[in-house]
C-alpha cells in the first residue's frame, strides 16, 4: 500500500521540523515586541533553512534560474504555477532574500505542527469553496502586504499535477494591485514528479524560474485589466522553457 511506502518520507518531513524550531523563540519574541524587522529576518532564515535541508533529505535537486530577480526587500507578491505539493518546499528553499508567507487552502492549517508554522510565518488561509471567505482572506493578505510582509500565491487555486496550467482565479491580481506592491512571476517545472506522478514521495529535479518584477504602483486601468493574462503568459512561457532544457 502507498501509505506505508510514504512513511519514510513523512518521517523525514517531520524530523526536519527541528530546523524550524530553532527560530521559533526569536520569531515569537520579535512578534510580541513589535520588532517587525527582526521577525521578518528570522522567518526568512527559518523557512529557507528548512526548505534547503528538507529538499535535500527527500532527494530533491532544486535548480534555480533568474535568482537576480529576487528582491532585496519586500513587500512583494510571488505568483507561481502550482504543479504539486513540492512547490511549497521548492519555493522555501529558493527564496532566501525576503520573508514570505503563503496564501493557502484552509485545510493546511489543520496539519499538526505545520498549521502553527503557517500562522507564524504570516500566511493567509483561504476557504476556496466559499467566495465570501475567500474575499476576506484576500483582504487580510492585502493588510499584511501594506504592513511590509510578502506573500506567495498560486493563482490557479489547485495543483495541475503536471497537466496544462489552469486559468487563474478571479481576484488573484488584487492581492498586489490594491496595496500597489510588485508582482514577481515564478515558473516551476517538475514538482509533480516528487509526489503526484506516482503517489509516493520520490527524488527528482525541480526547476524554479524567477521572472523580473512587474510594478503595480502606477499601473493604468487598462493595463490592470490585462494583468491576469500577462502574468499567466509569463509563467506559462517560463514553464515551457524549463521543460525544454
Contact 211, 237 (CB under 8 A): no
**Alpha carbon distance 235, 187 (integer Å):** 5
C-alpha dist (Å) from residue 41 to 26, 44, 81, 127, 158: 10, 5, 26, 29, 29
Q: Which residue has the cell 526587500?
A: 73
Q: Which residue has the cell 509569463?
A: 234
Length reported for the chain: 245
Give the pLDDT confidence score for residue 190 in this predicted structure.
97
Sequence-ordered alpha helix ranges (H) in 84-181 = 86-94, 114-120, 131-147, 174-177
**Alpha carbon distance 163, 161 (integer Å):** 6
Contact 141, 151 (CB under 8 A): yes
Q: What is the pTM of this model?
A: 0.92
> Taking Cα atoms as reference points, which of 183, 202, 182, 181 lies closest to residue 191?
202
Given a cut of 70, the residues of the chain with pLDDT beneath it are 1-17, 19
Give the pLDDT confidence score for residue 205 in this predicted structure.
97
Give the pLDDT confidence score for residue 223 in this predicted structure.
72
Give the pLDDT confidence score for residue 198 in this predicted structure.
82
**Alpha carbon distance 33, 55 (integer Å):** 33
Give the pLDDT confidence score for residue 160 in this predicted structure.
92
Bridge partner residues of 125 (DSSP): 104
Give CA angle at 101 (130, 218), nearest 5°. 85
Q: What is the DSSP letter of 214?
A: B
Give the pLDDT confidence score for residue 41 in this predicted structure.
96
C-alpha dist (Å) from residue 15 to 27, 112, 202, 233: 20, 13, 17, 38
**Alpha carbon distance 207, 224 (integer Å):** 29
Give the pLDDT confidence score for residue 95 in this predicted structure.
97
Give the pLDDT confidence score for residue 207 in this predicted structure.
98
Give the pLDDT confidence score for residue 1 in this predicted structure.
37
3-state secondary structure at position 111? coil
Return the CA Rg of the chain: 17
**Alpha carbon distance 151, 186 (integer Å):** 13
Domain boundaries, the chain: 2-243
Helix, strand, coil fractions of the chain, as percent rounded to 5:
50, 15, 35
CATH number belonging to the domain at 2-243, selected among 3.30.230.10, 3.40.1130.10, 3.40.50.300, 2.40.160.20: 3.40.1130.10
Give the pLDDT confidence score for residue 68 in this predicted structure.
97
Contact 140, 161 (CB under 8 A): no
Amino acid at each position: 500500500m502507498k501509505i506505508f511506502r510514504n512513511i519514510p518520507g513523512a518521517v523525514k518531513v517531520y524530523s526536519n521540523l527541528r530546523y524550524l524550531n530553532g527560530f521559533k523563540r526569536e520569531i515569537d519574541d520579535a512578534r510580541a515586541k513589535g520588532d517587525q524587522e527582526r521577525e521578518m529576518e528570522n522567518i526568512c532564515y527559518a523557512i529557507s533553512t528548512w526548505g534547503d535541508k528538507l529538499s535535500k533529505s527527500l532527494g530533491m535537486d532544486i535548480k534555480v534560474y533568474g535568482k537576480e530577480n529576487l528582491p532585496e526587500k519586500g513587500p512583494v507578491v510571488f505568483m507561481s504555477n502550482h504543479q504539486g505539493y513540492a512547490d511549497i518546499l521548492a519555493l522555501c528553499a529558493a527564496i532566501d532574500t525576503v520573508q514570505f508567507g503563503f496564501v493557502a487552502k484552509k485545510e493546511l492549517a489543520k496539519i499538526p505542527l505545520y498549521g502553527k508554522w503557517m500562522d507564524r510565518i504570516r500566511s493567509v488561509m483561504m476557504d476556496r469553496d466559499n467566495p465570501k471567505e475567500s474575499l476576506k482572506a484576500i483582504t487580510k493578505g492585502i493588510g499584511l502586504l501594506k504592513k511590509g510582509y510578502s506573500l506567495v500565491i498560486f493563482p490557479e487555486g489547485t495543483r495541475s499535477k503536471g497537466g496544462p496550467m489552469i486559468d487563474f482565479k478571479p481576484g488573484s491580481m488584487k492581492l498586489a494591485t490594491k496595496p500597489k506592491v510588485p508582482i514577481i512571476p515564478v515558473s516551476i517545472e517538475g514538482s509533480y514528479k516528487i509526489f503526484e506522478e506516482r503517489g509516493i514521495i520520490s527524488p527528482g529535479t525541480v526547476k524554479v524560474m524567477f521572472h523580473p518584477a512587474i510594478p503595480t504602483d502606477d499601473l493604468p486601468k487598462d493595463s490592470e485589466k490585462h494583468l491576469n493574462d500577462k502574468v499567466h503568459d509569463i509563467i506559462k512561457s517560463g514553464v515551457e522553457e524549463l521543460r525544454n532544457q
